[in-house]
Structure 1
Amino acid sequence: MAADESGVMLKSVADEDPYHLTPDGIKEPPKGWGPSLRYLGPGLILSASIVGSGELIATTALGSQAGFAILWMVIFSTLVKVAVQVELARWTISTGQPALTGYNKVPPKIGPIGWVNVLWVIMALSKVLQIGGIVGGVAIAFSVLFPIGGDPLGFTSTLIWTVIVAVGSIAMLYSNNYSLIERGAVLLVVAFSFITIILAAGLPFTPFAYSAGDILGGLAFAIPAGALGAALAMFGITGVGADEITFYTYWCCEKGYARWVGPNDGSEDWERRAKGWIRVMYKDAFVSWVIYTSGTLAFFIMGAAVLNPQGLVPEGNEMITTLSRIYTDVLGEWASILFLVGAIAVLGSTLWAAIPSWSRMYTNLLATVGVLDWQDTQTRLRWIRIFTVALPIIWGAAYLFIQSPVLMVQIGGVATGIFLLAAVAAVWYLRRTEIDPRLYGGTPFNTVLVISSIAIVLLGVYSALSVLGLTPS
């Protein structure tokens, strides 16, 4: 710690680094919901990421394809992964380490990199397609609103808007300020989801009415013929996917949870603080679950009730205009502008949450193989900024090359579902080897964690076999 000319002690950047656990960073946890609200935040970033490609694109597309028959899968996919998310965050809060550092500890290793991180790299490559689809979705929405060079779905207009979206995202997020990322688009996401929930609830009073029988029929455990691929992709994307489970740990650190707990000195005070901040994390995860589950159900119902009866399935560059029918067919043509603005907000918020999250994960991966020192604050920030510039450019190029946002998002969803297997294995390994047993959840939570893990493993294996063509037709 240095001093200025007046003798006042100045803290270095490292002293304020949320990944550095020091006694100076200790803070007592709040008690109860009211005092805890100001300390929520990582889950809001998570919600901004989730209520986007999964909910607006994959879930609505699934509803349009399968109707209400697979409603149970929507609910199941949002519920089943939360326990794994919370358990990995428990490890982060108690150790101050982010996910990929932990993944790399799971044996066996291939040279300096663990097998879980090898699979993470494979998932990350598939995510180039998924997030490229999100970039494309935002660009198309802008192009339909403000076409440049003629046809709004033509190559010229979509190319220009893709460049604008990528460059604009880089400019906004280059600082990588946590508060900016947390607050940036959450309000718009919640507002758009709220509008869709109201529309979904009001459909019974329109020509696209659905009945209680439709809802109950959708709760039967069945997958209609032809919808399996979309269902598997939706399971990987909706709710917390493997990527969100992973990057949630970085935001728990950057909010301050781990730093406020402090280094583990084995004392009862440390145990009390750790349990207190873990309870705050529980509340954070619960609030985000309410937000993205409500949005998921609303988008699915809109797709099932409005698009499915008309035989409309979002595909190719027409995805946005097809999806807009969930608004225009209910409210009239004027609502297309409302939908497009909302789509930009939702998909844009996903993109703006994805860029800093993936930048941190890629940087952490390089640290695990020795390219940089994760604890070197300045070096870490420099690499995060490098990826903040590079990733939007790569994702935009991927979209321009393939130009099929729905397919791109679904490919990423299937890969995410498969990587969930590795994430579950890592969570249990870190729980056994590094989480202080005093911090384990109670019997109800541990039971849910076991059930969630088994469900994820079974569906992950089925996803992998489906990709290999080894499942029965």
Structure 2
Amino acid sequence: MTADTIAPDAHGAAHDDPYHLTPEGIMEPPVGWKHSLKHLGPGLILSASIVGSGELIATTTLGAQAGFALLWLVIFSTLVKVAVQVELARWTISTGQPALTGYNKVPPKIGPVGWINLLWVLMALSKILQIGGIVGGTAAAFSILMPIGGDPFGAMSMTIWTVIVAGTSIALLYSSSYGMIERGAVFLVVIFSIATVVIALGLPFTPYGYSAADVMSGLAFAIPAGTIGAAIAMFGITGVGADELTFYTYWCVEKGYARHVGPADGSEEWVRRANGWISVMYKDAFVSWMIYTFGTLAFFIMGASVLQPQGLVPKGNDMIVTLSRMYTDTLGEWVAIIFLIGAIAVLGSTLWAAVPSWSRMYANFLSVIGVIDWRNTKSRLRTIRVFTVLLPIVWAVAFLFIQSPVLMVQAGGIMTGVFLLGVVVAVWYLRQTETDPRIHGGGLFNVALVISSVAIVLLGVYSALNVFGFFK
């Protein structure tokens, strides 16, 4: 969706804007995997976001602290949120509306703002810390690789590289083109995910090998003392987080799923098309889940196998150096440069997805409180581009003031867990009030949705109580 491909009419609405459902945009859904592959994409952007800070920082930190004991939680964390993700996307595909528009329909409201969007504001503020940590982690990797002024962790080198990372993000993503964002996400995810999974599978052949007994011990449903905080943050970040559940809806619209279904006229033809494109979305979500689950497991296993036995836990600006031990201690010092390039790719992939995704959510929030008209293509694109410039600057400043990537990422993870509670409420409300029953999932999916919802509610309640000190 770019200014070059969208021509607004006199009222500011573009004829080929994916957020405007018209008869001209209708397309028959593909049948089967072979014909659906070219229509996948939103989940790949999702994977770029997920296979990033949560895995490289939070998951490896948890592995370093708890060893294999919480392996079961890693698997559960990636799986349990998918049903809620799919149900929210189902509503979006049938209505053409993005998540924050839907959240604002859930009563009660305080003025023009629904309570769930107020929770979103709190999460967005905490995410300044989390994504600031990602900016800092990326800058630290660049600084170690190419230090400026001698000391890679000195103020000069870290500041200059932080500015470069933020500035490059703005320059590359300013156009906010969906196609470019999707292609970049795929490239970044493939680079590091394959390498990480291969190394994790090769660990048994090194001095830091793990056994089948280690893996089995990690499947016992227990949380070791002293790891609850890290576990909660990991659960909030890894897999599909509340922010990713939310911005997945924007990418489903911009890929064209809702536009191809067409306006909801209640006809049987509309139901057939809707179910067809929802089936494509299922495939997209499944491929995404496969990618980030294997990536998450690989990072956790490396943290548990390499860092935990040595008592190494990523902290502060030394995070990148500590994490690099997973590779240098396994393959030798020669691989340090390769790790740094890989760390830049994996953290950069999160930034690549975060900048355009958060820009859309901020713009959507302004629309629900009446500042801009979301359906006005020109106004929406202009606002998205303003945030594409502002957000990397704010995140970079946050890092330069705090300079503790691990703490920053975990803080954002805890608030993400709290916001998940609101997302679940919104999903069920929109399912009951706006999603046509003829396009609801089958019995097995509905069971999965209930299990997913209950697990997320328990996480949200625990996280909320933890924030107010009930478990201290």
CA displacement at 1:338 relative to structure 2: 0.7
Listed one character per residue, the Cα deviations across residues 301-335 of structure 1 (whole Å, up to 9, x for unaligned) are: 00000000000000000000100011100110011
Identity %: 75
CA displacement at 1:188 relative to structure 2: 2.9
The AA in structure 2 aligned to 1:383 is T
* Distance (whole Å) between structure 1 residues aligned to residue 446 and residue 72 of structure 2: 23
Alignment of 1:336-355 (within 5 A): 336-355=336-355
2:444 corresponds in structure 1 to 444
Contact preservation (8 Å) 1:130, 1:412: yes
2:36 corresponds in structure 1 to 36
Alignment of 1:96-107 (within 5 A): 96-107=96-107
Listed one character per residue, the Cα deviations across residues 144-165 of structure 1 (whole Å, up to 9, x for unaligned) are: 0000012001111000000000
Q: TM-score, normalised by structure 2?
A: 0.97
- Secondary structure in 2 aligned to 1:334? helix
* Distance (whole Å) between structure 2 residues aligned to residue 148 and residue 17 of structure 1: 45
The AA in structure 2 aligned to 1:442 is G
Contact preservation (8 Å) 2:8, 2:378: no
* Distance (whole Å) between structure 1 residues aligned to residue 358 and residue 231 of structure 2: 25
1:309 corresponds in structure 2 to 309
CA displacement at 1:186 relative to structure 2: 1.9
* Distance (whole Å) between structure 1 residues aligned to residue 334 and residue 349 of structure 2: 24
1:148 corresponds in structure 2 to 148
* Distance (whole Å) between structure 2 residues aligned to residue 437 and residue 136 of structure 1: 46
1:130 corresponds in structure 2 to 130
Alignment of 1:180-259 (within 5 A): 180-259=180-259
1:83 corresponds in structure 2 to 83
- Secondary structure in 1 aligned to 2:15? helix
2:374 is aligned with 1:379: no
* Distance (whole Å) between structure 2 residues aligned to residue 177 and residue 464 of structure 1: 37
Contact preservation (8 Å) 1:185, 1:345: no
CA displacement at 1:465 relative to structure 2: 1.4
Q: In angstroms, what is the RMSD of aligned CA positions?
A: 0.9
The AA in structure 1 aligned to 2:54 is G
Contact preservation (8 Å) 2:355, 2:391: yes
* Distance (whole Å) between structure 1 residues aligned to residue 94 and residue 396 of structure 2: 37
1:5 corresponds in structure 2 to none
* Distance (whole Å) between structure 1 residues aligned to residue 173 and residue 187 of structure 2: 17
Listed one character per residue, the Cα deviations across residues 135-190 of structure 1 (whole Å, up to 9, x for unaligned) are: 00110000000000120011110000000000010000000000110011422322
Contact preservation (8 Å) 1:74, 1:235: yes
* Distance (whole Å) between structure 1 residues aligned to residue 93 and residue 239 of structure 2: 22
Contact preservation (8 Å) 2:191, 2:345: no
* Distance (whole Å) between structure 1 residues aligned to residue 396 and residue 463 of structure 2: 27
5+ long unaligned stretches in structure 1: 1-9
Listed one character per residue, the Cα deviations across residues 42-73 of structure 1 (whole Å, up to 9, x for unaligned) are: 00000000000001110011101110000010
* Distance (whole Å) between structure 1 residues aligned to residue 300 and residue 35 of structure 2: 35
CA displacement at 1:459 relative to structure 2: 1.6
Contact preservation (8 Å) 1:188, 1:342: no
* Distance (whole Å) between structure 2 residues aligned to residue 332 and residue 31 of structure 1: 48
Aligned residues: 463
The AA in structure 2 aligned to 1:339 is F
CA displacement at 1:470 relative to structure 2: 1.2
Contact preservation (8 Å) 2:328, 2:336: yes
1:51 corresponds in structure 2 to 51
CA displacement at 1:462 relative to structure 2: 1.1
- Secondary structure in 1 aligned to 2:441? coil
CA displacement at 1:11 relative to structure 2: 8.1
Contact preservation (8 Å) 1:190, 1:291: no
* Distance (whole Å) between structure 1 residues aligned to residue 131 and residue 325 of structure 2: 23
Task: Identify if the C-alpha distance between structure 1 residues 11 and 115 changes in structure 2 by more than 3 Å, giving closer, same or farther.
Answer: closer
2:60 corresponds in structure 1 to 60
Listed one character per residue, the Cα deviations across residues 240-266 of structure 1 (whole Å, up to 9, x for unaligned) are: 000000000000000000000000111
Alignment of 1:113-128 (within 5 A): 113-128=113-128
5+ long unaligned stretches in structure 2: 1-6
- Secondary structure in 2 aligned to 1:184? helix
* Distance (whole Å) between structure 1 residues aligned to residue 186 and residue 404 of structure 2: 27
Listed one character per residue, the Cα deviations across residues 263-301 of structure 1 (whole Å, up to 9, x for unaligned) are: 011111100000000000000000000000000000000
- Secondary structure in 2 aligned to 1:313? coil
* Distance (whole Å) between structure 1 residues aligned to residue 79 and residue 46 of structure 2: 15
2:179 is aligned with 1:179: yes
Listed one character per residue, the Cα deviations across residues 330-386 of structure 1 (whole Å, up to 9, x for unaligned) are: 110011111100010110010010000000000000000000100000000000000
Contact preservation (8 Å) 2:324, 2:336: yes
1:6 corresponds in structure 2 to none
* Distance (whole Å) between structure 1 residues aligned to residue 49 and residue 157 of structure 2: 26
